[in-house]
Structure 1
């Protein structure tokens, strides 16, 4: 796949957003139908994925080659262990952060606990949100943050700093309640990508994470609790203790995983002369 720089990525995203704004504006003027924010997000994400693959000169052969390589390298035990540990870290960190905030500003803590990307009011919106979160987001975010941003940064400032900086950006763009967890998730995804040289590896754990989150949303939708705010059963002291224990356990396991893969950060990036790198 052809190397894509960060500035090229930004330029492509701006063009896609402008095109989407104009296209949906014309559709709205002709049909008097306003496209929802969810619809816009699905269109933008799908378009970006297609353009990045085409612009990066990914073809059927290269994609099949990556998929076959993925099947040979995929380690289900490693992925499941990382997913569970990352989920525990994310839950523990968000619980600790909201418990601390609740002690000083209860309303802000409740707002953080109930934030969401989209309001789901019907089955069609539920399908759209599920597709966006479980399929499109993992593909696009791995292409953008690992395949493009991480690799671009690592060529200039080294693998470890490239992983840290790209993960900070990745986490900053997520909801406040999961920023810390998203940053660590991004860092582990960088390790997986650098370790296996195949974007499908971190993409698989990303899809697993988002799919399970979507399943909880689906269950909540049919139970009628998805859009209801969490305003009771909040015990900041208890939450702080439980969250801290979970956070410590997850941090130890993730720290050991990072240490065991420390050789990755000592690799020196070779100069890419033919503008081609693995997907």
Structure 2
């Protein structure tokens, strides 16, 4: 496993994603699919299917299987729900504080209307709640995070891989980075991606649920009336405090699994000093 991870280069993955995206965009455009379907299908092929296929090729080359990362394991339902909700709560609080700050600084009318969007909720549910958790956990926690552990310390690997994960989901706010950090620890705790997939899916389900009910309203105005700012400020601070306290306690309780994970899966090899390997 370690040899395979060290021989799998990020640059080939990135080049393959770019090539697949460009080719699929051209193909689906020539087929005259609607614009939402072109971007959705092209994104799925390039960001999910190509990386998974590329990883499968290397696994078969080294006579390995994804089952290495998908071992059946018992995990706590309460922990799953908390890990899915509290990072999102912290992210929402931070994002709301930033929004209130921008609204206070910018002149009135800066953010008045949300753009009207049309959503295929069936397709959105399947891609977001089912496909994304499986593919993204295999890619980010399975490959990217594990490969970074062959070069960086667990703390650096958690931060870097989670920032990359957050950057890939920048349009959804700050919470993906926080969720990514939690999922890295969950993976090291259980040695399996199954709890990560469950947490990821539940988190995405909550996000889709909020998105659905927010769009049911005919009022798309996002203007923040001055009289609403104090209660919104209080609510955002409460979100941040609750989410931050949970996150700190979560890391304090579970970080020791990082050492145990490194000892179990990476043995006695001094991988953490191997900083000279090129990406």
What is the TM-score of this pair, normalised by structure 1?
0.76
Which consecutive aligned stretches of 4+ in structure 1 deviate over 6 angstroms post-superposition? none
1:213 to partner: Cα distance: 1.5
Give the aligned partner of residue 19 of structure 1.
20
What are the residue-to-residue correspondences of 1:105-254 with 2, within 5 Å? 105=106, 110=111, 120-121=117-118, 125-175=120-170, 178-179=173-174, 181-221=175-215, 223=216, 225=218, 228-233=220-225, 235-254=228-247
Three-state SS of the structure 2 residue aligned to 1:12 is: helix
Counterpart Cα distance in 1 of 2:135 and 2:16: 16
Report the aligned-residue RMSD.
Answer: 3.5
Whether 1:87 and 2:88 are equivalent positions in the alignment is yes
Q: Which runs of 5+ in 2 are unaligned?
A: 272-279
1:25 to partner: Cα distance: 2.3
1:176 to partner: Cα distance: 5.5
Counterpart Cα distance in 2 of 1:25 and 1:158: 41
Structure 1 residues 171-215: Cα deviation after superposition (integer angstroms, max 9, x where no partner): 233235622x22221111110001101012112101111022122
Task: Using the TM superposition, name which of 260-269 and 166-175 deviates more.
Answer: 260-269
Residues 16 and 50 in structure 2, CA contact (< 8 A), matched pair in contact too: no
Residues 189 and 202 in structure 1, CA contact (< 8 A), matched pair in contact too: yes
Structure 1 residues 9-53: Cα deviation after superposition (integer angstroms, max 9, x where no partner): 442343244234334524544x44465212322333442354045
Distance change (3 Å), C-alpha of 1:32 and 1:201:
closer
Residues 110 and 231 in structure 1, CA contact (< 8 A), matched pair in contact too: yes
Residues 99 and 109 in structure 1, CA contact (< 8 A), matched pair in contact too: no
Give the aligned partner of residue 254 of structure 2.
261
Give the aligned partner of residue 277 of structure 1.
none
Distance change (3 Å), C-alpha of 1:247 and 1:32:
closer
1:136 to partner: Cα distance: 2.4
What is the TM-score of this pair, normalised by structure 2?
0.76
Task: Using the TM superposition, name which of 252-261 and 166-175 deviates more.
Answer: 166-175
Give the aligned partner of residue 276 of structure 2.
none
Q: Which runs of 5+ in 1 are unaligned?
A: 274-279
1:5 to partner: Cα distance: 5.2
Counterpart Cα distance in 2 of 1:7 and 1:63: 15
Counterpart Cα distance in 2 of 1:167 and 1:54: 23
Residues 51 and 139 in structure 2, CA contact (< 8 A), matched pair in contact too: no
What are the residue-to-residue correspondences of 1:31-46 with 2, within 5 Å? 31-33=31-33, 36-46=38-48
1:130 to partner: Cα distance: 2.4
Counterpart Cα distance in 2 of 1:19 and 1:186: 25
Count, aligned residues: 260
